Every structure is written in C-alpha cells, then in structure tokens.
Amino acid sequence: MKFWSFKFYGNPLDTWVIAVSMAVFLVILLKLIKAIMLTRFKKIAERTKTVIDDLLVEIVDKTKLLFLIVISCYIASLTLFFQAPVRSIIQTITIITIILQFGVWANYLFQAIIKIQINKRMEKDDASAKTTFTALNLIGKFVLWSVVLLLVLDNLGVEITTLIAGLGIGGLAVALALQNILGDLFASLSIMLDRPFEIGDFIIMGDYLGAVEKIGIKTTRIRSLSGEQIIISNNDLLNSRIRNYKRMMERRVLFTLGVIYQTTYDQLVKIPQIIEEIINSIELVRFDRAHFKEYGDFALIFEVVYYVKSPDYNTYMDVQQKINLEIYKKFKQEGIEFAYPSQTLFLKSEESEFPVRIIENKTEG
C-alpha cells in the first residue's frame, strides 16, 4: 500500500498508472477509429467520381500519430492534479500540436485544389498553367505556414505584435521594391483564374495582334501574323482592352458592291434576290440582309450582311471568295455591270442649242 501511495508530482502512483493506461487506451482507440474511417472512406471513394470523398480519405490519412498521442495524453492528464504552471505547459503543448495538425490539413487541401486546377488546365493543353499554379502553391504555403508560426509563437508567450509590425514594414519595403514584378505575378494569376484568353487564342490588344503562345509568370508571348514574337508584360496586358476572336461564336460580315447607273430598274430589284440565293446555298453561312443602300458618286451601292457560323478566319475568307465568284458569275449572266470610278462630260454643240456631245472618261479604280 505504501508503494502505491507514493506521490509523484503531487499524484499517487496508482493514479499515474490509471492515467498512463487511459492514454495508451485512447491512442489505440483513436488509431483504430482512424483505420476504420480510412477503410470506409476508401470504399466510398472507389464507388463515386466526386472529389470530396477523395479529399476526406487523404485528410484522415494525413492525421499524424503525434497528434493522436498528444490528444490522448491531454485527456488522460485531466485525471491528475497539477500545479498551474505544469497545467499551463500541458495546455500549451496540446494547443501547438492542434495548430500544427490543422496546418498539415490546410496545406494538403490547398495543394489538392492546386492539383485539380492544374489537371483541368492541362486537359486544355495549357502548359503554362503548371508554372503559374506552382507559383501560387508556393505563395499559399508561405502564407499558411507563416500564420501557423505566428500562432505557435503567440502560444509560447512571444509578443508577436511587434514582430508583425516589423514584418509589415519589411514587407512594405519589399513590395515597393518589387512592385512591377509582383504586379505581373498577380496579373498572371488573374489570367489563369479568370481566363480572359488561353494558349492558342487569337487576340488583339491595341496595335498588337496574334496567337497566344505562352502565358508566363511575368510576361505573355504572342506570335503575330507576320511571324515575329511579341512579348508583353501581364500587367500591361490586363490593363488593356483585349479582343478575343477565338471565342467568337459566329462572325458578322458586312460588305458593299456597286453597279453602274445604267442598270435597269428590273435588274436593281433582282440583285438582292440573287445575293440572298447565293449566300443561302453556301454551308456554314446565315444570310441576314441585302439592300440597295444609296446613290454613290459613280455607282448604285448595295449593302450585304451575313454571318459565318465559325470563328475561323480562313473559313470566313473561303466563304467570302465563294460569294464573290458566284456574284460575278450571276451578274455576268444577267448583264449587270459592276461600277468603277468614272466621269461623264456633257459638251454643248455650237451648231444647235439643244443637241449635245457626250464624252465618257472612265478610270479603273
């Protein structure tokens, strides 16, 4: 009896045995619960295609043994009597362990989201997405573990207010020194997340136009129609008005043509019908309108509008060529002449007051 009544840190030996036994039992119990949950979640994940159950499996798997041991020891310590300083140390160790475990979970979740986004972008052949999301991953991990470190230091009794103020001043100085680089970096992340354009898209930005070849951390590279590579900083790119022709569902086309003033009334009435029949006979084209628009200086002007059901520029040019050739063919069959710049001079005859001579001077345009 005297042996069991021996006190260690203010608690009898038998009480210590009970507390240690409880801690061991809790560790075994928690490990068993973890194993059961892991097995159940894996079976559910195999039957479904959702991401949430996969994340649950990994979160349970990322639960550290040290976390289970500390939690078990803390619960067992509640059966013991300790002085305030010792109890405070136990609570601090437990809180720090919980913070670190939550940091591990949060870090995994963040990395999982990054991987999911990378896989989505890679499915679209966006090779630069991996580089950008890797940078985003590094930034996220730095911020996460910085917060975890500050929480740990705060629980250890370190005055972090002064430290945060110093870091804030230092961070401001670094941000001012690297504002252009950071601006391009965040612009790159905005491009990847908001996706105003992708690799392969044909865009126009001010006087520059071409196909997007690469979206980097600092710059975006565009291959122009004339062959040279245009390198533009991401920040400048997002501050500009961008026209993305790749995402155009259909292309609206407006063109005009002119016929001579000697064209008869019946021919003028027939021209819109001819053009409509030609456009409707071509695939991937939707006719909109054709009208006798106005009297020009040397021609009667017709305006035509149609839609090409494809954003591809070469398809549009092929369609326009077919329309032009068919119009030329039909106009020739109907005896309709195209107009070109010309002038007609009327000269008064000296022999008579009424007869005139007509001299026509035509200049091909």
Encode pLDDT of 108-133 as tens digits.
Answer: 888 777 777 666 665 554 555 566 66
Provide the 3-class DSSP secondary structure of residue 364: coil
Going by C-alpha positions, the residue among 324, 319, 238 that lies closest to residue 286 is: 319
Exposure on the CB side of residue 298, measured as CA atoms within 13 A: 14
Other beta carbons within 10 angstroms of residue 271's beta carbon come to 23
Residue 68 has pLDDT above 60, yes or no: yes
Most confident of 32-46, 176-190, 333-347: 32-46
Other beta carbons within 10 angstroms of residue 73's beta carbon come to 20
Most confident of 197-206, 245-254, 304-313: 304-313
CA distance 140 to 143: 5
Residue 355 has pLDDT above 50, yes or no: no
Q: Does pTM surpass 0.75?
A: no
> Nearest 5°: phi and psi at 215?
-115, 105
Other beta carbons within 10 angstroms of residue 37's beta carbon come to 16
Which CATH number fits the domain 183-244, given the four candidates 3.10.180.10, 2.60.40.10, 2.70.98.10, 2.30.30.60?
Answer: 2.30.30.60
Q: Residue 189: what pLDDT?
A: 72
Query: In CATH, what number does 251-342 get?
Result: 3.30.70.100
Query: What would the pLDDT profile of 44-65 be if each residue is shown by its tens digit?
Result: 777 777 777 777 788 888 888 8
